[in-house]
């Protein structure tokens, strides 16, 4: 998972860089643009926007890589302090056109979210139970052997089934063919679970005893899945028979579809300003992107404190989040929309409730995508 997360962070940075305008030091300008040939008189071409000084050094190649992945230029140092301490001014400045000096909300959101998942994969919460890798591998090997035995039994039953043309024989063969198909899928999923176990830090999800319990109860029928859709129920039962793989896929889905937080959040923010003119969905979108970026940064800090501070750190994080999140929302609402204290307060209260609903909708979507994908 760590390699996937690193790749995701790099992808987020490169995607973010692709939507940013060229910035930084261009060096001494030339008399003609090397790209379009237009006459130039400054550091950038007035016709196509390319810097008039073209670097050809290995050092500059490294600088471009650093900027492409991390947006490492002067704008980040202007954007970050405002995002943390004065988010309302940052949001309002961007909406009203002061954009060259700041990192765009979309680029910053993409990069921050991908980096957050990368760092979280390297900073797992300590497991409550001791984990022995050899025992886990043995358990998976036993599970795979049982699955393969189940497949062999199903294939044998299918081979011995009568080949008659009557309805009972056809139904029996169809039932056995379904059993063989399910057994083959189970073997494939168990093999994939081995890969998931090897690539996911065991401490991310603590002790592994619960997996065998969930698997056993699912196979025995103690855990019943009934969504009203037989195909969906079948998929969910199959995933629960390999809970490690299901959790791994949910983790992957969580960061791959994190962008869904934006469209899910947008209608709730817009609902707070239905009767106020002058605000557009673009304004709300900028608000949401910067707000989610701050929450991602806060999550990284909180995870680090919990990881290295133990129970005392966890308590400090819990108390801090109860204060920091509402305070940041209040400051951003008040500054971005030029609200009075009372207007910002009641909207902050409503927005906190909307955030809870948004998070539930997002988690439900992620779980369904992870389970059914």
Instruction: Choose from 168-172, 206-210, 353-357 the range with maximum mean pLDDT.
Output: 353-357
pLDDT at residue number 308? 76
- Contact criterion met (CB below 8 Å) for 246 and 239: yes
* Structural domain contains residue 330: yes
Residues 267 and 118 reside in one and the same domain: yes
For 72, phi and psi rounded to 5 degrees?
A: -85, 80
Q: Based on the domain organization, do 137 and 112 belong to the same domain? A: no
For residue 350, give both structure tokens.
């409503």
Among 241, 270, 288, identify where a domain stops: 241
Averaging pLDDT over each range in 45-59, 190-204, 210-224, 250-264, which range is the top one? 250-264
Residues 255 and 360 in one domain: yes
Judge if 209 and 312 occupy the same domain: no
Q: For all residues of the chain together, what is the average pLDDT?
A: 74
Number of domains in the chain: 3
Give the range of the structural domain holding residue 258, as residue numbers without chain letter.
Answer: 1-20+71-122+250-373
CB within 8 Å of 47: residues ≥ 6 apart: 33, 36, 38
Q: Give domain status of residue 128, yes or no.
A: no
Reading the block at residue 363, the tokens are 């988690």
Q: Specify whether the backbone of 285 is left (phi greater than 0), alpha (psi in -120 to 50) or beta.
A: alpha
**DSSP assignment of 149-161, as one string?**
HHHHHHHHHHHHS
Assigned token pair, 42 = 């400054």
Regarding whether 269 and 231 lie in a shared domain, the answer is no
Q: Which two tokens stand for residue 214?
A: 């969930």
Token reading at 113: 């979210």
d(CA 315, CA 306): 8
Report yes or no on 223 lying in a domain. Answer: yes
Contacts of 6 (CB under 8 A, 6+ apart): 118
Alpha carbon distance 167, 340 (integer Å): 76
| 85 and 55 housed in the same domain | no
**What six digits make up the tokens of 99?**
């954009």
Question: How confident is the model at residue 59, as a pLDDT?
Answer: 56
Question: Quick one: which of 106, 114, 117 has its CA closest to 17?
Answer: 106
Q: How confident is the model at residue 74 (pLDDT cuts 50, 70, 90)?
A: low
Residue 222 corresponds to which tokens in the numbers above? 């103690």
Quote the pLDDT of residue 148.
74
SS3 39: strand
Half-sphere exposure of 321 (CA within 13 A, CB side): 19
What is the reported pTM?
Answer: 0.62
What does the pLDDT read at residue 119? 74
CA–CA gap between residue 334 and residue 343 (Å, rounded): 8
8 A C-beta contact, residue 79 and residue 73: no
Same domain, yes or no: 33 and 182:
no
Q: Is residue 175 part of a domain?
A: yes
Same domain, 144 and 215: yes
For tokens 């039932």, the residue is 175
10 versus 371: which is more confidently predicted? Answer: 371
Q: 164: pLDDT confidence band, cut at 50, 70 and 90?
A: low
Tokens of 49: 């926007």
Residue 140 has pLDDT above 70, yes or no: no
Burial level of 284, CB count in 10 A (0-12/13-18/19+)?
Answer: buried
- Token pair, residue 53, equals 């000084």
**Residues 268 and 345 occupy one common structural domain:** yes
For residues 226 and 156, membership in a common domain is answered with yes
Whether 192 contacts 239, CB under 8 Å: no
3-class state of residue 131 by DSSP: coil
**Three-class SS of residue 44?**
strand
The partner residues of 204 in beta bridges, in order of sequence, read none
Lowest-confidence pick of 54-68, 165-179, 333-347: 54-68
Residue 51: phi, psi to the nearest 5? -60, 140
- How far, in Å, CA of 251 to CA of 367, rounded? 9
3-class SS of residue 212: helix
Q: Indicate whether 146 and 234 sit together in one domain.
A: yes
The torsion angles phi and psi of 132, rounded to 5 degrees, stand at -110, 115
Is 127 inside a domain boundary?
Answer: no
pLDDT tens readout for residues 280-326: 999 999 999 999 999 989 988 888 887 777 666 667 777 788 899 99
pLDDT digits (tens, 9 = 90+) for 169-201: 677 777 777 777 777 777 777 676 666 655 544
> Do residues 117 and 154 both lie within one domain?
no
């Amino acid at each position: 998972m760590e390699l996937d997360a690193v790749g995701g962070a790099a992808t987020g940075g490169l995607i973010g860089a692709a939507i940013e305008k060229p910035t930084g030091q261009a060096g001494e300008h030339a008399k003609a643009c090397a790209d379009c040939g237009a006459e130039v008189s400054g550091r950038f071409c007035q016709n196509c926007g390319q810097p008039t000084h073209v670097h050809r050094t290995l050092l500059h190649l490294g600088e471009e890589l650093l900027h492409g992945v991390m947006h490492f230029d002067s704008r980040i140092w202007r954007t970050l302090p405002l995002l943390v301490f004065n988010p309302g001014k940052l949001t309002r400045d961007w909406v009203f056109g002061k954009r060259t000096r700041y990192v765009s909300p979309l680029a910053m959101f993409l990069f921050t979210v991908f980096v957050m998942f990368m760092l979280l994969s390297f900073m797992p919460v300590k497991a409550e139970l001791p984990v022995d890798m050899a025992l886990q591998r043995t358990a998976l090997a036993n599970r795979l052997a049982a699955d393969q035995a189940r497949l062999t039994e199903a294939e044998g039953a299918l081979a011995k089934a009568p080949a008659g043309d009557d309805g009972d024989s056809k139904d029996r063969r169809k039932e056995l063919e379904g059993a063989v198909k399910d057994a083959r899928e189970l073997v494939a999923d168990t093999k994939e679970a081995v890969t998931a176990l090897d690539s996911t830090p065991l401490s991310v999800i603590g002790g592994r005893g619960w997996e065998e319990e969930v698997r056993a109860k699912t196979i025995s029928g103690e855990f019943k899945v009934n969504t009203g859709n037989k195909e969906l129920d079948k998929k969910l039962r199959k995933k629960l028979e390999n809970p490690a793989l299901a959790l791994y896929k949910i983790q992957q889905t969580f960061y791959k579809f994190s962008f869904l937080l934006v469209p899910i959040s947008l209608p709730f923010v817009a609902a707070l300003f239905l009767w106020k003119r002058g605000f557009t969905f673009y304004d709300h979108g900028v608000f949401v992107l910067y707000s989610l970026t701050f929450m991602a940064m806060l999550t990284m800090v909180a995870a680090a404190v919990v990881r290295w501070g133990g129970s005392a750190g966890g308590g400090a994080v819990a108390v801090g989040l109860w204060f920091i999140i509402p305070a940041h929302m209040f400051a951003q609402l008040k500054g971005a929309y030029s609200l009075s204290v009372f207007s910002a307060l009641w909207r902050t209260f409503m927005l906190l409730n909307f955030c809870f609903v948004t998070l539930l909708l997002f988690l439900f979507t992620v779980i369904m995508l992870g389970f059914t994908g």
